[in-house]
Amino acid sequence: MKLDPLSIPYRTGKSVLRLAWVLVFLFLGSPLDGLTGAGLLVVAWFVVALAYQLIYYQRFEYELTDDSLDIVSGVVSRRNREIPVRRVQNVDISRNVAQRLLGLAQINLETAGGSSTEASLNCVSEDEARRLQSAIGQLKREEGQTATDDEPDAEPAVEERRLFDITPKELALLGVTGIDLRLLSVVTVVLPVVAPSLRERFADPLVGLAVTAPLAAVVIVAVAAVVSGVLAVTNYYGFQLSRRSEELQYERGLLQRFSGTIPLEKVQTLGISESFIARRLGYASLAVETAGYGPDDAGSQSAVPLADRDRVLSLAASVEAFDDPDFRRPPRRARQRYVVRYGAVAAVAVGAVFAADRLTTLPVAWYWAGVLLPVAPVAAHLKWVNLGYDVQPEYVVLREGFWTRTTTVVPYYRVQTVLNSRTVFQRRRRLATLVVDTAGSSGLTGGQPRALDIDADRAAELREAVADRLQESLDRRQEKRRRERLRSIEPPTTGTA
Amino acid sequence: MDANTERGDGEPFDEPLTPAVRPVGAEGDADGAAAGEAIQVEELTGSRRTLDPTIQRVWALQAAVPSLVLGGIAGAAFAFLPVGDAWVGTVVATVVFALAAVLAVLRYRSWAYEVRGDSLYLERGVITDVTTVVPYVRIQHVDASRGPIERAFGLATTVVYTAGSRGADVSIPGLSPERAEDLQARLKQLTIAAEGEDAV
């Protein structure tokens, strides 16, 4: 099959706009005579891009067979790619404003291999995207069951159960709690473009800097906060999560609509994170991790951006049947370790401020830094209190973090490697850190699931226990699969083609 | 340096191995079940082992270049400063190199690995002591690699890859080429014997 013909103008327009955007930055502030040249360049580029996209469209073909998605593509160098449906981790559909106007959709397929998106159909029609998404889900289920029913078309539409709809209140809260300071980097790119005009207002550059720097800092933070709040709201506007037999499906976005599937069979870990503010208000968010995404694009994995804590917990429990965690804290000597560590940091800070007071002519009220000293034990206690681990029959649940407390649920059969490590300082207090590594991309929950600073002997014990339970649960799963296969063979069936 | 200096030579790594990859159709079994039974796991496992002592020299030598560079920088800096002179560079280089040599020895002593029944066990680290368990079911592929310095000293490294997110690949340095190859073959067989389901 071919892409949607409308994808030609869409892709051409996109590439022309990208060039125009670069030119705007290049010619901003320069005299007007460069403008006609730039205009010519854009027109020339438009012709080239259109020709290229025409050929791209001509030479792009895909087909969904019974067990794989085959894509033949490439203008100059040809690529013939075959993705076994069984290996597909996520199927994502995204539609930005332009695509929505044209009735187009981009569909991305993620598998566990490679770091980037494995297959991208840019763009097909909306209906085709939906058809592909559900057809792939359907095929995967059939393969998983080793063909109990051989007529995919005869089967009625899969039952869909709505699990979660975001309320306006939650969305507003998300805008507040979702303030993302990473956007600062974007603002700092924009700033140099705006800054020169500001600086010209002041004759003396030093005075100008002294006035603009704090102002700029305040403005940057404020703008970043507003932008990220707005982004959080537009990203998650109309968020809904539903379950279709063995898949979770979500939809979100105000301007750019995203829709993705998370096959429950491929779930690696669950992450429940509660930011400092959300925790106070009794809210939490849930991330369902698969191995499909690269470490950087964690955005679309969030299963529930923000919801009532109990709701999140029950949703999580419906995905992975873990018990209500009963956390065990690390020994008290771990807390002592943090007191010492934070105390040392505070002492160094006080010392630095004191040195600044003595060595420079600046009047520094250094004793104010002394406030840090009593804060250190409090911080240590908060860090310690939020740590925890719970070893359950099927899962190990780990918790960490004060500002954002993350609870990670790791099924034993998803464990890749187990390790415990002890730094010099940990060895002194007979402590160790247990790391349970999975194939999840752990972008959203940040870092590997670990039990920080638990008793060294206990860590070694747990390391072996987790490895053993991995074997046990794999055996169990294999046994179950074998039985299922036998059962499916017994009545005479035709089997998948 | 030859393989005789390695500790614990002889059993059980000297036993001949059956090839892990057999020609298609030879056994007439595509499911791998029969192949799994054919592999005797007990014969493939081994006791706790340490590295070839030569690895200490390799590690020390690897520190030589950085310590020379550091010494050079320090020497150049002190040549222009009012205090000290260019000879400080020599002192810096020597001290750094000596530290690295001590670290190399400690690192060698901290290293141990064991081919267990269902997982590969590794223990290493001087400042941070790390113990890793890699279940065979999770092994994706096994490499044997030899860098230039390693080659000069007749050593090799075995690298084991899993699908894990970080710390996904573990490497065992300081093996004689034969042992590295042997370990690679063993792990391959054990992985086949473990034959789990899809890794992810």
Token pair 């029944």 is found at B117
Task: For B163, list phi and psi in degrees, rounded to 5.
Answer: -90, 5
pLDDT band at B102 (very low <50, low <70, confident <90, very high): very high
Residue B113's pLDDT band, with cuts at 50, 70 and 90, is very high
Grouping H, G, I as helix, E, B as strand and the rest as coil, residue A51 is helix
Looking at per-residue pLDDT, the higher value among A495 and A207 belongs to: A207
Whether residues A437 and B199 touch (CB distance < 8 A) is answered with no
Which residues in chain B are closer than 8 Å to A471, comparing Cβ atoms? Answer: 118, 135, 137
Average pLDDT over every residue of A468-472: 90
Beta strand segments in A319-449, E: 388-391, 395-400, 404-411, 415-422, 431-438
Write down the residue that tokens 């006609």 correspond to.
Answer: A36
B196 vs A131: which has the higher pLDDT: A131
Q: What is the pLDDT of residue A257?
A: 86
Please check the confidence at residue B90 and state whether its pLDDT lies above 90: no
* % of chain A surpassing 90 pLDDT: 19
pLDDT per position as a tens digit, A351-409? 888 888 888 776 667 777 788 888 899 999 999 999 999 999 889 999 998 888 989 99
What contacts A84, CB < 8 A, 6 or more positions away? A67, A68
Find which of A19-23, A193-197, A366-370 is predicted with most confidence, using mean pLDDT.
Answer: A19-23
Q: pLDDT digits over B37-52, tens only? A: 556 777 778 888 899 9
Average pLDDT, chain B: 78
Residue contact A417–B196, C-beta within 8 A:
no
Strands in A282-425 per DSSP E: 283-289, 302-308, 388-391, 395-400, 404-411, 415-422
Query: Residue A203: its pLDDT value, please?
Result: 55
pLDDT higher than 60, residue B7: no
Looking at residue A211, what is its pLDDT?
A: 62
At A148 the pLDDT is 44
The CA distance from A195 to A197, in Å, is 5
Q: Please tell me which residue, B123 or A353, carries the higher pLDDT value.
A: B123
- Given a cut of 50, whether residue B10 has pLDDT beyond it is no
3-class DSSP string for chain B: CCHHHCCCCCCCCCCCCCCCCCCCCCCCCCCCHHHHHHCCHHHHCCCCECCCCCHHHHHHHHHHHHHHHHHHHHHHHHHHCCCCCCHHHHHHHHHHHHHHHHHHHHHHHHCEEEECCCEEEEEECCCCEEEEEEEHHHEEEEEEECCHHHHHCCCEEEEEEECCCCCCEEEEEEECHHHHHHHHHHHHHHHHHHCCCCCC
State residue A395's pLDDT score. 92
- Residue A104 has which token pair? 């187009």
Question: What are the sequence ranges of the domains in chain A?
Answer: 168-236, 267-329+387-487, 332-374
Residue A339: pLDDT over 90: yes
Q: Do B165 and A439 touch (CB under 8 A)?
A: yes
Could you tell me which of B4, B6, B123, B110 has the C-alpha nearest to residue B53?
A: B6
Helix, strand or coil, per DSSP, at residue A147: coil
The answer to whether B167 contacts A460, with C-beta atoms less than 8 Å apart, is no
Going by pLDDT thresholds of 50, 70 and 90, the confidence category of residue B1 is very low
| pTM, two decimal places | 0.76
Pairwise CB contact (< 8 Å): A419 & B132: yes
pLDDT at A9 exceeding the cut of 60:
yes
Give, to the nearest 10 degrees, the angle between helix A372-385 and helix A332-359: 150
Whole-number pLDDT of residue A398 = 92
Check pLDDT > 60 for residue A299.
no
Model pLDDT, residue A465: 93
Higher pLDDT, B10 or A182: A182
Residue whose C-alpha is closest to residue A183's, from A121, A231, A128, A244: A231
CB atoms B131 and A421 under 8 Å: yes
Q: Are A376 and A345 in contact (CB under 8 A)?
A: yes
pLDDT tens across A211-228, in order?
666 777 777 777 777 877
CA angle A78, A80, A84 (to 5 degrees): 160
Measured in whole angstroms, the distance separating CA A421 from the mean position of its chain's CA atoms is 27
**Chain-chain contact of A467 with B119 (C-beta, under 8 angstroms):** yes
Mean pLDDT of B150-160: 90
With CB atoms and an 8 Å threshold, state whether A437 touches B167. Answer: yes
Q: d(Cα A399, Cα A403) in Å, to the nearest integer? A: 12
Interface residues of chain A, partner chain B, Cβ below 8 Å: 86-87, 89, 112, 266, 268, 291, 295, 415-424, 427, 435, 437-442, 448, 460, 463-464, 467, 470-471, 474, 477-478, 481
Query: CB under 8 Å to B131, separation ≥6 — which residues?
Result: A419, A420, A421, A460, A463, B121, B122, B123
Predicted local confidence at residue A29, as pLDDT: 62
Chains A, B: CB contacts within 8 A come to 94
The tokens for A352 are 């630095």
Contact criterion met (CB < 8 Å) for A423 and B128? yes
Interface test with A, best of B116, B118, B123, B131 (most A CBs within 10 A): B131
**pLDDT tens digits along A48-103:** 999 999 999 988 999 988 888 898 888 888 888 888 888 888 888 888 888 888 88
Structure ipTM = 0.74
Q: Please write the tens of the pLDDT for every residue from A264-285.
A: 888 888 889 888 888 888 999 8
- Shortest Cα distance from B152 to chain A (angstroms)? 32
Among A20-24, A359-363, A375-379, B136-140, where is mean pLDDT lowest? A359-363
**Mutant choice from A293, A396, A415, A417 vs B, greatest count of B C-beta within 10 A:** A417
User: B-chain residues within 8 Å CB-CB of A268?
Assistant: 200
Residues of chain B with pLDDT > 70, as a percent, come to: 76
What confidence tier does A151 reach under pLDDT thresholds 50, 70, 90? very low
pLDDT level of residue B23 (50, 70, 90 thresholds):
very low
Residue A226 pLDDT: 80
